[in-house]
Amino acid sequence: MPLAHDPIAIALAEDIGPGDFTSRYFVGEEQRSARIFAKERAVAAGVGTGAEVFRRVDPQLKVRVVREDGAALAEGDSVLEISGPVRSILTAERVALNFIQRLSGTATLTRRFVEAVAGTSARILDTRKTTPGLRALEKAAVVAGGGVSHRFGLYDMVMVKDNHLAADRPADHLPAAIRAFRDGHPSVRVELEADALEQVRRFLTFDGVDVILLDNMTCAQMAEAVALGAGRVQFEASGGVTLATVAAIAATGVDFISVGALTHSAPAIDFSLELLP
């Protein structure tokens, strides 16, 4: 989905403001080359965004992408090479690094979850727990890490969660609401959240349900839910998923495992820019 705003422009404006005084007064006008490289093992993401930062700061800069998003990086591997006015390189440095290090952190953590469920049918999903204004970039980083982008917002999938169910509506309104929604939006998927097997059994009697979200259930409960609905709906596991627990969750047979930590708690990867001789 296209961005509704320009995060690069926002980031440059907050960092440069009226001008990069340090580079303007303390750096000469010479031409240099530089590279951005990983200082630890990682999965690359945000590389194109970082390249665009340099181009925005100075169209004279020549920027070459060395490693594409999704590439596995060893310590010391370059992701970008830049050449041109050294002042411009240094002005763009921090903003480019900020995008690359944070988005690569998301891609790297995603790859660890994906590898942990290898050999099962489960796919790792992201959530809407993203940095405000950076959702498109963060979800792209999840995909770079091998995950699957879940619904982008409130408009491209229905997800009826506990607070929706707790709203003051008749207890039997759900089947009618699903039918009404399907009449107007036949191609949009519908997902219902269940935190007990009794809810799963009830939801399986409804027409028009694509996915049932199993929220904070035990692995035994999830396996039973999957057996109840096999071939009729898909199942998503959610709630407190960690690298220590994700393999056991995947073994229950769920189709998807959503992990909020991919976008709200991924540690940034250490990248650096160095000027070359």
DSSP 77-141: -EEEEEEEEHHHHHHHHHHHHHHHHHHHHHHHHHHHHHHHTTTSS-EEE--S---TT-HHHHHHH
pLDDT digits (tens, 9 = 90+) for 89-117: 999 999 999 999 999 999 999 999 999 99
Q: What confidence score (pLDDT) does residue 137 get?
A: 98
Hey, how many other C-beta atoms are within 10 angstroms of the C-beta on 175? 15
Mean of pLDDT over the chain: 95
Name the CATH superfamily for 7-111+266-275.
Quinolinate phosphoribosyl transferase, N-terminal domain (3.90.1170.20)
pLDDT band at 166 (very low <50, low <70, confident <90, very high): confident
Does residue 162 have an active-site annotation? Answer: no
Given a cut of 80, whether residue 246 has pLDDT beyond it is yes
- CA atoms of 266 and 161, how far apart (whole Å): 25
CATH level 3 topology of 114-264? TIM Barrel (3.20.20)
Of the candidates 129, 151, 182, 202, the residue annotated as catalytic is 129
Q: What confidence score (pLDDT) does residue 168 get?
A: 56
Does residue 207 have an active-site annotation? Answer: no
Location of each CATH 3.20.20.70 domain in the chain:
114-264
Does residue 39 have an active-site annotation? Answer: no
Q: What confidence score (pLDDT) does residue 71 get?
A: 98
Of the candidates 56, 128, 161, 182, the residue annotated as catalytic is 161
Give mean pLDDT, residues 252-271: 98
Does residue 35 have an active-site annotation? Answer: no
Q: What confidence score (pLDDT) does residue 208 get?
A: 95
Location of each CATH 3.90.1170.20 domain in the chain:
7-111+266-275
Q: pTM to 2 decimals?
A: 0.95
Phi then psi dihedrals of residue 247, to 5 deg? -65, -40
